[in-house]
Structure 1
Amino acid sequence: MQRVKKIFSADLVKVSFLNAIATFIKMLTGLVSNKIVAGIGADAIALLGQLNNLSTILLGISTGGINAGVTKYTAEHSGSPEKYNKFIGTGFWITIVLSVITGLVLIIGANFFSHTILHSNEYQLVFYIFGFTIVLYALNMLLISIMNGFKEFKKYVIANITASIVGLIFAVVLATLYNTIGALIGFVTYQSVVFFITLALVHRAPWFKWRIFTHQFSKSAALKLGNYSLMALVSAIVMPAAQMIVRNYITNHTLPGDAGLQEAGYWEGVNKLSTMYLLVVTTSLSVYYLPRLTELKTDYDLRKEVFSVYKLVIPFLILASIIIFAGRYLLIELLFTPEFRPMDKFFLYQLPGDLFKMSGWVLGYIMIARSMTRTYVTMELVSSSAQVLFSILFINLFGSIGGSIGYACGHLLYLLIMIFIFRKMFFSSKNAVA
């Protein structure tokens, strides 16, 4: 009974409800903006996927992966301004320095990024703009992590909802006016606008003082924040890089010319669909499951919790997969355009891959909760490398559909290794769940 009360505490219900609203709006705006870009063509979807992955990598680098640490230490010292000022100020200086360096790299290397990432020299302007705006992008993420630390859930959700709506507006207006390059520019600029909205939300908060951000850099605070960097940076860099490699391989090794880029667009389309419906699971895991794991001390309790989550997640994913597969032609028409009908061939392998992915993630969260940094980093590298290698193998054998086969095989391997790592927890008789 006490456990039930704890789970359904006021804070948890409040956070879950607000996050559900933000997630729904993010899904809705994402689907609408995706429909707009799909109207330009499959190649635009592929290029936007490339830019999305690159921005994830660069944002991770420009923030130093410290945002989770900022949230943690802000929450821990929320009653002591002297202490939380030290972490916020140090986080600010880390973010400024790294984001400025990242921005300069983007500006100087605009031609390289345009040619290498987007397969053409005509998109240099996108990277010039991104180079100038990434500082605001990174500062927005810092402010959001601070809000989260102070448990300003309403403002946190408003900021996320605003980001979704502004992103939709930028996508609709710029993609309609300027087609592919407009969609790409919209993607790299809208977060800079959101920064000013987030700033307006927090500037009257009791904790907000301009002098916080000029606080002297603290080496001790930086070292503590750095403990959270490695896992965050690996997550931000490794899997997006793997997706970029696979997308590039489909573009260059399936069909000649623009047809290869279109095939990559179909593959990216099914990935976007997966991302959207899996938001329901990933949001729930981050809001309830991860905090719950940090409270559990014994393998018995951990196993019991994992099984209870599997009892909810796996049936949901199986049902969702059946519905999506049965209605895939209708979904393609609704969320994309008739041009994307060749995308239907990817679903047969993508949907089992989603099931393997989420099943593995349920176990992967244990590594985060128990600070198993070395194991976590190793598994991220193994999973991403396996996905790339499997994808290249099957693309060579079966064409672009091999990207989805590789996705499924990579995540199945990850799941099997995770079961092996936690085999004692699963198969030890003393941990058996009654």
Structure 2
Amino acid sequence: MKRFFTILASTGLLTLVRLSSGFIIAKIVATYTGPSGLAMLGQLQGLIAILFGIVTAPLGSGVVKYTAEYIADGYEACAPWWEASLKWLMLLLVMVVIPTLVLSGFISEILFESSGFYWLVCLVAILLPLASISALFVSIYNGMQDYKRYTILSSLSLVCATISIITLTIYFGLYGVLVGASIFSAVSGAFFICASLRQPWFKIKFWWGRANQSHFKQIGGFALMSIVGAICLPTSIVIVRSMLISYTGLEAAGHWQAAYKISEVYQAVITVAVGTFYLPPLASARGRKEIFNQLLIFAKLLFPVVVMVFVFGSIFRDQIVVLLFSKEFDVAADFVMLQLLGDAAKIISSLFVYPIIAKKGVRVFVVGELLYFLAITMSSYFFIRSFGVSGASLAYVMGSFIYLIYVAYSYKVFDF
């Protein structure tokens, strides 16, 4: 418990900055571009999430796990895992960036129903290498449990990136929003590089010449899980948003995007806590009993937060929507309670899925992500046609509870 509150204190600043960043950007975009601008921003951010998630797949849970396991033996012991993750990154960048540039017009047509924004797709692809650096360094600091430096650098990089997108939005309107979103992660990556140049592990000898096929293969297992996760959820949301645009119009899709934005920021904050406090101990836990003890500790801390957010958000949803966006988005309040219910199920499912991730349950994880993708997209198709915009939120709730049931059962039968 003491350790948790130590971590909570050190990451409290990051949580505050992340919350503030997400909602300030949403408020500025809503004020200057309205619901249609917010819907277009959501489509672009969906693309960024997919591409960024694919190329940074080897840099997340795997790097955290093996850094946490071997850091006690020095940087030399961690180096093979870092090198393997870097080689995976370079391979995935080639596989993602080139096709994205070639198909930029087609991708723009799918996202915005116009090929005229192909240059935005190209900008996102070109900046992917720089953007991915922040994900790598965050995982290293997290694995080392250097929470102070991790928190300070992450917070400052978020502030710099947020200022850039706000400035571009104020001066250039919709185009500023889209350009700002495209460079957001790259600004963070540049900041992390500059801030980490003097770190003792930032040397070529720790990044080249130590990995073998076994390291490459084991990082690849985590990469596969992350790639599937990076593709399934963002793609499902892009598909749902496209359905809304087709069946209800861009304006209505913008209202739903406002409600989903609240979910997105809320879940991002919880993900920081889970990744920082829950994953590293799971990586070093041995046997079902130790893993269950970690689950129990985190569940006691997580449940009150989930209940409090759901109750508070449901009661004050009208005021929250107007405060975070504008009166133009008041319709979005109708979807907030459903979104928060889906969030609760998805967040609780993390209690069961992270032990499986930590122990490389690749097949279980991949099946779960595919099930979640199919549940949301297929139910959205029927619910949106029957209930309009609220159908998207109903589909989100249904998909989240199906996923929770699946991962809870998988945890019960998994061979730890």
From 307, 325, 342, the equivalent of 1:336 is: 325
Shift of 1:66: 3.8
Deviations along 1:150-200, whole A, 9 cap, x unmatched? Answer: 443333222211231122112211111222221111112132232232122
Indicate the structure (1 or 2) with the bigger Cα radius of gyration. Answer: 1
Give, in whole Å, the separation in 2 of the partners of 1:330 and 1:251. 26
Give, in whole Å, the separation in 2 of the partners of 1:121 and 1:198. 34
Secondary structure of 2:58's aligned partner:
coil
Deviations along 1:66-111, whole A, 9 cap, x unmatched? Answer: 4332333344444445443333334333323422442222222221
Letter in 2 for 1:71: V
Shift of 1:57: 1.5
Q: Which residue of 2 aligns with 1:349?
A: 338
1:45-56 equivalent positions in 2, closer than 5 A:
45-56=38-49
Q: 1:16 to 1:323 in 2, by over 3 A?
A: closer
Shift of 1:304: 6.2
Letter in 2 for 1:36: I
Shift of 1:307: 5.3
Q: 1:190 to 1:305 in 2, by over 3 A?
A: closer
Letter in 2 for 1:106: T
TM-score, normalising length: structure 1: 0.86
From 243, 250, 253, the equivalent of 1:264 is: 253
Contact 1:350 1:404 in 2 (8 A): yes
Q: 1:322 to 1:88 in 2, by over 3 A?
A: closer
Contact 1:137 1:192 in 2 (8 A): yes
Bigger mean CA offset, 198-207 vs 308-317: 308-317
Give, in whole Å, the separation in 2 of the partners of 1:69 and 1:413. 27
Residue 60 of structure 2 corresponds to residue 71 of structure 1? no
From 316, 319, 325, the equivalent of 2:314 is: 325
Residue 31 of structure 2 corresponds to residue 23 of structure 1? no
Q: Which residue of 2 aligns with 1:42?
A: 35
Letter in 2 for 1:410: G
Give, in whole Å, the separation in 2 of the partners of 1:210 and 1:294. 27
Give, in whole Å, the separation in 2 of the partners of 1:236 and 1:118. 21
Residue 82 of structure 2 corresponds to residue 60 of structure 1? no
Q: 1:330 to 1:92 in 2, by over 3 A?
A: same
From 384, 404, 407, the equivalent of 2:396 is: 407
Q: What RMSD in Å do the two structures reach over aligned CA positions?
A: 2.6
From 95, 101, 106, the equivalent of 1:107 is: 101
Asked which structure has the greater RCO (Cα within 8 Å, sep 6+), the reply is 2
Bigger mean CA offset, 90-99 vs 16-25: 90-99
Identity %, equivalent residues: 27
Contact 1:387 1:410 in 2 (8 A): yes
Residue 269 of structure 2 corresponds to residue 276 of structure 1? no
Shift of 1:269: 1.0
Q: 1:296 to 1:101 in 2, by over 3 A?
A: closer
1:217-228 equivalent positions in 2, closer than 5 A:
218-228=212-222
Give, in whole Å, the separation in 2 of the partners of 1:366 and 1:177. 46
Deviations along 1:216-239, whole A, 9 cap, x unmatched? Answer: 774333122112112111211111
Letter in 2 for 1:272: K
Shift of 1:408: 0.7
Give, in whole Å, the separation in 1 of the partners of 2:150 and 2:82. 17
Give, in whole Å, the separation in 1 of the partners of 2:309 and 2:134. 34
Secondary structure of 1:41's aligned partner:
helix
Shift of 1:25: 0.7
Letter in 1 for 2:25: S
Segments of 5+ residues of structure 1 without an aligned counterpart are: 1-6, 255-259, 426-434
Give, in whole Å, the separation in 1 of the partners of 2:83 and 2:407. 38
1:370-409 equivalent positions in 2, closer than 5 A:
370-409=359-398
Q: 1:419 to 1:132 in 2, by over 3 A?
A: closer
Deviations along 1:244-283, whole A, 9 cap, x unmatched? Answer: 11111111122xxxxx112111111111112233445433
From 82, 105, 118, the equivalent of 1:124 is: 118
Contact 1:90 1:215 in 2 (8 A): no
Bigger mean CA offset, 72-81 vs 350-359: 72-81
Contact 1:95 1:139 in 2 (8 A): no
Residue 129 of structure 2 corresponds to residue 135 of structure 1? yes
Q: Which residue of 2 aligns with 1:257?
A: none
Contact 2:68 2:283 in 1 (8 A): no
Bigger mean CA offset, 370-379 vs 98-107: 98-107
Shift of 1:51: 1.7
Letter in 2 for 1:226: G
Letter in 2 for 1:89: E
Shift of 1:139: 2.5
Give, in whole Å, the separation in 2 of the partners of 1:264 and 1:170. 26
Shift of 1:380: 1.4
Secondary structure of 1:65's aligned partner:
helix
Paired residues, number: 412
Deviations along 1:292-341, whole A, 9 cap, x unmatched? Answer: 44566565665565456445433432332222222122112111011111
Give, in whole Å, the separation in 2 of the partners of 1:424 and 1:195. 40
Give, in whole Å, the separation in 2 of the partners of 1:291 and 1:105. 35
Contact 2:310 2:337 in 1 (8 A): no
Q: 1:385 to 1:126 in 2, by over 3 A?
A: same
Q: Which residue of 1 aligns with 2:80?
A: 86
